[in-house]
Structure 1
């Protein structure tokens, strides 16, 4: 059963029990005289015990307290979680958790300091709150009450010292835990950076290998195109040589025919006319053959210039952009 300040001070029956207990300490005292002291004891229990900073053993009325207020334990630090390879979300959550812990530690330290100041102020005001014993009261009763109060005060101070030592131990443990978390986060960040560096190096190596492979393929393609062009030009030269041989054969046949016809005196005029016609035809064919040879020579020179120009453009393109090529088409056969 846990009591709050408003519930204790608002419950008339509970307040009356507190007043009856305080009056039982000094039977000859007036109940109205100790009404404020009884309310002080009730508020002392409700305020400090509910906040989790003090316990009932510090209250002077602890042994015969009628409120039965439970003690509230302090919050424990969160359990540690470890992971070999935390993800980015865990890093963000860890950083946020550390920030929240630091903020909570600051707030807790401020609350502890504030409560300590309030307790010290309350202790300083205790002699003023406690009423003086009447003149007619026996000295033995006063001495017994004073001794009990001093004993309670000494026990309360010892308990406060033990509590402060526990709080300092918890603060040291929290600091140590925070340092371990920071070190773990730093190690994780270092592993992540090393992994990114290794991945970047692997990507760069793969890009270099792909670029080198592309260059080799382009070179092989250029070599294949050049070999095809050389074969095409060889076939053209062979065809031209065959045509020359045919013309030479025809010229030899023409000469033989002339000699045969010259040997025949009866058809000399006809032979001369026919020979002139054949000679004109042969001359025309020779002119056409010469024209074809010159045209083939010009075509060869033009194709050679086109190949040289294409190779120059290809080298310039490979120098500018190693990954792409634009190979022109060579003339068809």
Structure 2
């Protein structure tokens, strides 16, 4: 099968591309310099020329709370344009099979835990990432609407917090897992005796390794249509993908400290905001269909740290860190 993976240089898209190649698929990719997905004409020309049979839409503008708060117009505009162009032009070119990757941020801020698929659009979104969430909801509804009107097979998966090789370790724009890995690594490197973390450490978060997300994505993409439709009704077009368990930020910090070799004191500044107290996906639909993640949290953190050491932190490179602005999504 000839498959276009949009966003192949990202963490999730890269893992999906590797796994598709291992399965013998003809994977088509483009860098941003080669194809600007926000350019409607360029995307139309691409689909006309490449004759792909399926699409995995993993391309998106992403970032943590700091980035979402600072660049809200960029987040809603670029993500809406990417989704509209890729999904519509795929349809126009006759592509019948597409998988859209969303985010757990689509669910209301005060949603019941664990978060079920039918909680979508039942409450107010988290204000700090509302533009991004609105764009992702639009992507889900685009897939659902093309299926309803044109009989396409466009599916959506909503991942929990992802981490792993290829993650973003930027000192300001990263999510909590890579931010913690970087923070503790630098503490060890600089001989610090204490690491201070914003918040009380009590919020709970769920984390899924990127390779498990890639496997889940291809699992959903390969499902017989009748089985997918049976598990996304009534009036649903997306499936949650999570690890099934969550941990407190304190427990996560202790795990990262152990992996990085930090033996000092971990201090939590309860005067700083905690954010949402819990975000756990209800992945029972996916589990009932036969998929379960295989990478444990401890194993995944260790693998991610080794990738970070080899890729992000050359011995001669000194990087300033400001973990305080990196909060759980």
The TM-score range, normalised by the shorter chain, is: under 0.3
Q: Which has the larger radius of gyration?
A: 1
TM-score under structure 1 length normalisation: 0.19
Q: Which has the higher contact order (CA 8 A, sep 6+)?
A: 2
User: Which is richer in helix?
Assistant: 1
User: Which is richer in strand?
Assistant: 2
